[in-house]
Each structure stands twice: as C-alpha cells, then as structure tokens.
Chain A
Amino acid sequence: MAELRTEEMVLNMGPQHPSTHGVLRIELVVDGEVVVDAVPHIGYLHRCFEKHAEAMNYQQVVPYCDRMDYLSSMSNDFGYVLAVEKLLNIQVPERVEYIRVIMTELQRIASHLVAVGTYGMDIGAFTPFLYCFRDREMILDLFEMTCGARLLYNYMWPGGLSHDIPPGFVEKTKAFIKHFRPTIKELNNLLSYNEIFVKRTANVGVLPAEIGINYGASGPTLRGSGVKWDLRKDDPYSVYHKFDWDIAVGTGEMGTLGDCWDRYMVKVWEMEQSLRIIEQAIDNIPEGDVQSAIPKRIRPAAGEVYVRSETARGELGYYIISDGTQNPFRVKARAPSFVNLSLLPEISRGYLIADMIAIIGSVDIVLGDVDR
C-alpha cells in the first residue's frame, strides 16, 4: 500500500474556548491529535494599566492594580504599596504589616483554590471545583466583612489600610483554618491522588528547572520543577521573616520532576503553608492605628524604585519612576502570568491536545495579569 499523505492542521484554541482560562488564543499546529507547535496570542484583555497609571496620582493607581490579576487582588496591591512606600521612604505600623500578611495569605489560598478547582475541571472532574469554591467563599466573606468588597478590594493604601479588621474577624479566620485543614485532605482524596487524575497529569508538560529559570518563570510553576525560590523567604519583605514555614517544591513523586502533577500539587501544599503563616500571625497582631502613617499628599522626590513580591502566581514586580509630581511618571508591572505563559510552547510540544489543556491549566495564568 502506498504511504498515506497526511497534513498538519492549524487549530485555533480560543479566544472563546472553555479551558483557556479567559481570552487566550493559542494557535495549535496539530498532527492528528499530537501538538507539533503551540503559539499563544495575547492582548485580548489589554486595559492599558501602565498608561492609565501615568494619568492619575499614586493613590488612584491601587484600584487598577486590583484589576490586573483579579484572583489575587490583595497581593497585587501589596506589591504596589510596598513600592510606593519605598519611594516615599515611610515606615508603616507593625499592625498594618501583620494585617497585610494575613490578607495576602488568605488571598493566596483563595487564588490557589480557584486554580486547583478549575484544574480539576480541565481534567474532567467537575465536583472538586465546587468544593473549592465553597471554601473560597468563606475567605471572600472575611474580605467582605473587612472592606466591603469581595473581589476587587482597594484595601491596601500607601502607608496603611482602608479599614481596620472588624470585631469577630480573628475568630472567623480561626474557624476557617479549622474547617479548611480537613478539607485539603478531602480534596487530595477526591482529586490529587485520584488514579485517573494522576495518569492524566504525571509525566505531562515536563518543565526542567533550567529551562524554567532561563525563561524567568516564578511561583508554583518554577517551584513545581523543584527550585526552592520564594521571595517571601529569599528576599523577605514586610514581616514574613518572623514566621516559621516551608517553601513547597515539586518532588516528582508521581512521575517526572516538573510535570503537571507537581505544579498542581505545589499549590495544594502552599495552601497548607499559608495556613501556618496565618495561624502564627492572627494571634500576634499588635495594637495600633492602621491609618496613622497614611500621608496626606503623595509627592515623592524624583527617583525610581523596583519592588518585587510573591503573589499566588509568582514574582510580581513594580518599577515606578517619579518625577517629583503627584502622578507617577511611569509604572511598569512585571506580571508573573505573562512570563510563565511564555513557557507554553516550550513545554507543550509533542503532547496530545488533551494534554495541552492540562498544561495550560497547570501553568495557572490569569489573563488579566498577562495582558494588564
């Protein structure tokens, strides 16, 4: 029999596709179901964050930071206010630092819950997703009782916070921790160690540590490859140095080091570590006024600053140039999702279309963060 003539097919995945986690378009070159090449096309959610920031004063930028990575708004604000405070050279009260850390860690758990839940859905398990959302709801309730917002908080201001924590917050947070510890076990039984789930994710989309570092990956994506790199420990900011916790890294337990399962599991382990940080912080919040250090008017001296912090998705950096006026001259955000997404072609060649979904999900991008 003469050899069959076969052709490669170009397949557009997205921007309206259920599993691209937003408006991402991936141009797939496929041979049957095998992915030959994958080119991500971005920009569908571009909202001119950086240009907007130049047209308003320093305080007004905070709500825009909320909208970058809308799943971890607290962490985005945290990085921005740290940068502005460094530019102004002001010290915030200890109480503010503690509350910021608690909020950021709660946000990290909420964000990882979405990542883990939707990842299960990508693989075809619908139910864990709703369990994750049930628990995330409790965190959102905590945020709501603090600042009134459930998704975009505008909670952290340069120099302080918009509100102090309300009465009952500490008790409710403790109740959440008590509820959430067993839930992680339940999640592991239902999804993480499920035979089919492991088969689908182990040995898929392997990211060797070296390639991850060369591309500038960070966060759970890099830690999944076994690299112990977390800015909260390696370049401590705020009061993170006061707490005792471990960096979760991938172990290659189910397959190869740096596969999708490792990247997924790092998020589950990180939720446990975040609980540890919250537990230590919640009992030791010092007394004080959370708004005492807020400057009346922000007009930093001319200069520039780069501050990086660890969000749920990785290293978020803000580069701010001040020209001495009340508006920033330039704000540049180095978004973790954007950098991590650039890995996609590297780790998806040669796998099947179904694996492609697993790989996109495991890199855990938020399109708002990619496009800004």
Chain B
Amino acid sequence: MHNFITYYLGSGLLGSLVSSLLPFVWVMTYALVAIYLELKISAHMQDRLGPMRTGKWHGWAQPLADVTKLLQKEDTIPTAADKALYILAPMLVFVGSYAAYAAIPFSPAYIGANINLGVFYIIAVSAIIVLGILMAGWASNNKWSLLGAMRTAAQLVSYEIPSSLAILAVVMVVGSFNLNDVCAAQSGWFWNWFVFGKFPFLFITFIIYFTASLAETNRAPFDIPEAESELVAGYHTEYSGMRFAVFFLAEYANMFTVAAVASVLFFGGWNSPFGTFMSGPVWGAFWLISKGMALVFVQMWLRWTLPRFRVDQLMYLSWKVLTPFALFNIFAVGLWMVLRG
C-alpha cells in the first residue's frame, strides 16, 4: 500500500485528484508556517522580537496578513515586458518546485507516485525551475533581472552536478532509485541512517548534497541570483503582488523539497529514530516532516549567519571543490562496496 488514498478511493479521477492535492495542502500550510518561522528565527538570532502584534499571540497571524496584503496588491506588468513569458514564468517556477513533491515518500503509506526512478525524477523536474527563472529575468526587460537570471542559470546548472553525484552515491549503496526503497534500507534504530557511519563516506556525501542544495534553492550564502544588496531583487525585481508571492512560495516549497530529499537519503526518511517505537504510516509522516523541518531550520540558520559568496567564488566552489570531492566520494563508496562485498 504505497498510497492510502488511491487504495481507498481507487486510482480513478477522484483518487488521483485527492492524492495530488494533498501535497498542495501541505505546501500551503508549510509555507505559512515557514515564513512565520523565518521571521521569528531571524528575529531571535538578531536580538529582536519579530512580529508581535498580528493575531495577538506572538504575531502568529503575520504570514496570513502578508498573503492578504499581496492578494490585494495591484498586478503590474511593465510596459516593455514580454507579457506572455512574464505571466508564465512564476507558474513555471512553482510547477517545478511542486512537481517534485510527487516522488517524496511522506510515509510508508503515502507517496504521490511510487516510481522506480524517484530521485532521478526529482532532479529532472527541479531543472524546470531554471527555465522559469531565466524566463522571468528575460521577460521583465530589466537589466538587473537579466543579470540575476544569468547568474541563476549558471549557478543552478553548476550545482546540479555535485548534488546529483552525491545522490548517486546513496543510490549505489541502496541499489535503487526508488525513494521508498532508500527509506526501507535505513530501517531500525537511528544508527542505521546513512549519515551515521553505516558507510563512512556517506557523511561527506551528505555535506556535499546539503551545500549544493542550498545553492539550488538560492538560499544564503548562495543567494546571488536575488542578492538584494547587489541586484535589487534579481530576477523578480519587476514582480509584485501575487506573482511575486508565487516566487516566494516556490522558494519555500523548494527548501522543503531539498530538506525532505536529504532526510530521505541520509536521515532515514519516514523511519522512526527508535526502531519500531513510534513507527507506522502516521508516525512516518510525522518523522519525515520533523526531519525536513529540522533541515529547513538549518537552512535559515545559515542564511542569517553567513555573508554571501561572489559569483566567481560560487563557481569555484562548485567546480573545483564540490564536484571533485563528489567524484572521489563515488569512487570511494564503490571501492568500499567491492571490498566489503
């Protein structure tokens, strides 16, 4: 039973529809929570309080208020913009981020599409985001946007290589591209998780993957495509209102995607850390989301601590540090497997 919804509702129209909308509900809720957390976490890291008034208790309603504000805003499209592409771009970016959710195993009983090439699919579908961002930068007809888009194209394409190579190392160990199988291979107590020394090289793999994934989500210290102190707002400089919000939503959705993939690949996915204690389909979802959110927290933590790389330093890190290490890592994992049988 990979998907409890299609199990009960059948795999007809109704089942597919409910099954594909479930992650959407999750992304929306999560985005609101994550925006609130980002506001609060950054505030507490910076010795201030953050929103305190909206909704009385610690400003909990701030994200809702923000969304309401963005919904009411005038939808402006620059006169010189390429209208069709300008409108299409944010949708494409969101589609790219959201499509990845189909292959994330939220629990043993729920995965949108239990495909054999799960990881492969996520990498492939995330690449659509680059297209959307390039489109946004080009269609805005603004020099800052264009610079941001050019940076993004270079950055995302470069960092896909170390991140794919890192994923490949895990795939070699498990012998399957299916994310459910990856989770199943790490069952039992938390020392069975790949990050903790079952295979010593997988810890390095995790560091490589996590660094590269930060760059893929355009988060600090790799947020140069939107570097607000340099490029104003990068590729989404001209976007306002809900169109801007969609970019924002896609960024947060993407943050969770990479965090979820990292927790599936290295932290046991939906497995409980305590063997069979607190495990099962419902607890599975709880564990995956908790692990994902923990990694999202790390992403925020890094963002509010580190300065930003420069474009050439970013390329240096990808091609001369991460990629060689990832290649060496694959070789080492392979050697280990051959020697250990």
Residue among A127, A191, A352, A357 making CB contact with B229, cutoff 8 Å = A357
- Kindly state whether residue B54 has any CB partner on chain A within 8 Å: no
Q: Which residues of B contact A17 (CB under 8 A)?
A: 232
Q: 4 closest A-B pairs (Cβ-Cβ)?
A: A124-B308, A125-B307, A130-B46, A123-B307
Q: Which residues of A contact B74 (CB under 8 A)?
A: none
- Kindly state whether residue B58 has any CB partner on chain A within 8 Å: no
Interface centre among A9, A120, A353 (most CB of B within 10 A): A353
In the docked arrangement, what's the CA distance between A124 and B228, Å? 8
Interface size on B, residues (CB 8 A): 28
Q: A18-B229, A357-B230 are in contact. Are A134 and B47 (CB under 8 A)?
A: yes
Selected interface stretch from B219-227, B239-247, B260-268: B219-227
Q: Which residues of B contact A130 (CB under 8 A)?
A: 46-48
The answer on a CB contact under 8 Å between A125 and B306 is yes
Selected interface stretch from A87-95, A196-204, A336-344: A196-204
A-B contact number at CB 8 A: 76
Q: Per-residue 0/1 for A189-210: is the Cβ within 8 Å of any B Cβ (1 yes, 0 no)? A: 0110010110110000000000
- The residue in chain A whose Cβ has the minimal distance to the Cβ of B224 is A354
Q: Which residues of A contact B304 (CB under 8 A)?
A: 126-127
The answer on a CB contact under 8 Å between A19 and B47 is no
In the docked arrangement, what's the CA distance between A371 and B42, Å? 36
In the docked arrangement, what's the CA distance between A197 and B304, Å? 14
In the docked arrangement, what's the CA distance between A217 and B143, Å? 33
The answer on a CB contact under 8 Å between B230 and A354 is yes
- A115 → B minimal CB distance (Å): 15
Main secondary structure of the interface of A (DSSP, over half): helix
Interface CB pairs A-B, < 8 A, 19: A9-B143, A11-B143, A121-B229, A123-B308, A124-B220, A125-B305, A126-B46, A127-B304, A131-B46, A131-B47, A196-B308, A199-B310, A200-B307, A352-B310, A352-B312, A354-B230, A354-B308, A354-B310, A357-B230
- B277 → A minimal CB distance (Å): 39
Interface centre among A11, A127, A357 (most CB of B within 10 A): A127
Q: Which residues of B contact A33 (CB under 8 A)?
A: 147, 311
Q: Which residues of A contact B71 (CB under 8 A)?
A: none
- A4 → B minimal CB distance (Å): 15
Residue among B220, B232, B307, B312 making CB contact with A197, cutoff 8 Å = B307
In the docked arrangement, what's the CA distance between A13 and B106, Å? 46
- Kindly state whether residue B28 has any CB partner on chain A within 8 Å: no
The answer on a CB contact under 8 Å between B312 and A124 is no
- Kindly state whether residue A315 has any CB partner on chain B within 8 Å: no
- A33 → B minimal CB distance (Å): 6
Q: Which residues of A contact B223 (CB under 8 A)?
A: 124
- Kindly state whether residue A122 has any CB partner on chain B within 8 Å: yes
- A18 → B minimal CB distance (Å): 5
- Kindly state whether residue A262 has any CB partner on chain B within 8 Å: no
Q: Per-residue 0/1 for B140-176: is the Cβ within 8 Å of any A Cβ (1 yes, 0 no)? A: 0001100100000000000000000000000000000
Interface centre among B224, B229, B232, B309 (most CB of A within 10 A): B229
Residue among A127, A194, A355 making CB contact with B46, cutoff 8 Å = A127
Q: Per-residue 0/1 for A138-153: is the Cβ within 8 Å of any B Cβ (1 yes, 0 no)? A: 0000000000000000
Q: Which residues of A contact B144 (CB under 8 A)?
A: 11
Q: A11-B144, A200-B313, A357-B230 are in contact. List 9 more A-B contacts (CB 8 A).
A: A33-B147, A121-B229, A124-B227, A125-B308, A127-B46, A130-B48, A353-B230, A354-B227, A354-B230
Q: Which residues of A contact B312 (CB under 8 A)?
A: 352
Q: Which residues of B contact A120 (CB under 8 A)?
A: 307
Q: Which residues of A contact B224 (CB under 8 A)?
A: 354
- A10 → B minimal CB distance (Å): 9
Q: Which residues of B contact A194 (CB under 8 A)?
A: 306-307
Within 8 A of A (CB), among B40-99: 42, 45-48
- A137 → B minimal CB distance (Å): 11
Q: Which residues of B contact A134 (CB under 8 A)?
A: 47
In the docked arrangement, what's the CA distance between A19 and B311, Å? 17
Residue among A18, A124, A352, A355 making CB contact with B307, cutoff 8 Å = A124
Interface centre among B46, B223, B304, B313 (most CB of A within 10 A): B46
The answer on a CB contact under 8 Å between A196 and B309 is yes
Q: Per-residue 0/1 for B183-217: is the Cβ within 8 Å of any A Cβ (1 yes, 0 no)? A: 00000000000000000000000000000000000
- A301 → B minimal CB distance (Å): 52
